[in-house]
Amino acid sequence: MFFVGIFLLSCSSVYKTSEFSLSSSPTEPDYNNQENWAVLPSLWNQSLEEIVGKPEEKRADVFYVYPTLLTDKNDPSWNADIKDISIRREILEKAVAFQASAWVKAANLYVPFYRQAHYRIFFEPYSKQGKGAGVIAYQDVKKAFEYYLENYNNLKPIIIAAHSQGSIHAVRLLKDFFDGKSLQKRLIAAYLVGTRVNTDEFSSIPLLKRPEAVGGFVSWNTYKMNHLPKSYEKWYKGGVVSNPITWDESNTGPIERHLGVLTSNREIYPNSLSVQKIDGMLWSTLPKIKKRLLLSFIKNYHFADINLFWKDIQQNAVVRTDNWFKLNQK
């Protein structure tokens, strides 16, 4: 029904594991080699084309960092091997096609393969040892972004887009390259979806409170209306909540303003849900889509944080990009 970015499994789940060692980590990617990029404007895949068509040159860029796809309980590895064909297929046919595609109308898409950390690093007793895996993952993202800036960007304004683990890395990327630095002037917006972002996360990158505002960030975590997860206090409470229907400070988003859910059958369903903001979380009604009965048993909508608002994100990215150019006319 939806692209599943990261499965929110029980914290009590038992995973196969191994001793973390840098020497046993997968080979570090060389971003001079196009094989280590999932998407470039010159490197387009069929799944992406089926949703948004062929690439067209844009005035802006979007750098997208995908969510956790390495979730197998029987996989003891700490980091993904980006040479693994099955991993590449998951990234291209799911994350790229059903998430990153939302920003293609506004900007040229760049997506590096990176050695993401296994899902178990977010839980005890694996989290302490898993810190090294998180470092490896971010170092890849950082090096890919550095290569992108030096070889592809050509001083164009930038959208940062990410989900879940990808958003964790994107927050660090913003701190390292944008926050209080000259590159912040070229930041259209950062969409930091599916992770908690605190109100004081950045020193100079603001929360965007208007649909046309630029130079800041938006963020949300989606859950079924009137329900809270057991991990609410630990993972969500206190985090920023943007409204991906109105894109302003409204606490609710009416169904008649919802532009559309993108489902795995590549159909868009407008006017299918409404939302309500609470502390650290975005509540959504059950979407009015085909096979919605299956979704009615699910409370955690994390896997669909982007899909639920795919058309809303698409339009908003265009609005913000157009306004950035309006404000920066020479």
- pLDDT (tens digit per residue) in 187-220: 999 999 999 999 999 999 999 999 999 999 999 9
Mean pLDDT score of the chain: 91
CATH number at residue 246: 3.40.50
pLDDT at position 290: 87
- Counting the structural domains of the chain, the total is 1
pLDDT at position 14: 77
Question: Binning pLDDT at 50, 70 and 90, where does residue 26 land?
Answer: confident
Query: Could you tell me if residue 175 is inside a domain?
Result: yes
| DSSP bridge pairs for 239 | 198
Q: Largest alpha-carbon pair distance within the chain?
A: 58
Model confidence at 288: pLDDT above 50: yes
d(CA 171, CA 93): 25
pLDDT at position 74: 77
pLDDT at position 56: 95
Model confidence at 114: pLDDT above 60: yes
d(CA 115, CA 135): 10
Query: Could you tell me if residue 125 is inside a domain?
Result: yes
Q: Quick one: average pLDDT of 214-238?
A: 95
Q: Which of 8-22, 165-179, 222-236, 289-303 has the lowest mean pLDDT?
A: 8-22
Query: Could you tell me if residue 238 is inside a domain?
Result: yes
β-pairing, 281-284 vs 275-278, is antiparallel
Query: Could you tell me if residue 279 is inside a domain?
Result: no
Distances (CA, A) of 202 to 70, 72, 106, 205, 214: 29, 34, 25, 6, 15
Query: Could you tell me if residue 148 is inside a domain?
Result: yes
CA angle, residues 297, 99, 80, in degrees to nearest 5: 90
Query: Could you tell me if residue 144 is inside a domain?
Result: yes
Query: Could you tell me if residue 156 is inside a domain?
Result: yes
The residue segments making up the domain with residue 46 are: 22-250+313-327
pLDDT per residue as tens digits for the range 70-95: 777 877 688 889 999 999 999 999 99
Left (φ > 0), alpha (ψ -120 to 50) or beta: where does 52 sit? alpha
pLDDT at position 6: 40
Q: Which of 12-16, 215-219, 283-287 has the lowest mean pLDDT?
A: 12-16
Q: Quick one: average pLDDT of 157-186?
A: 98
Model confidence at 22: pLDDT above 90: no
Query: Could you tell me if residue 98 is inside a domain?
Result: yes
pLDDT at position 131: 82
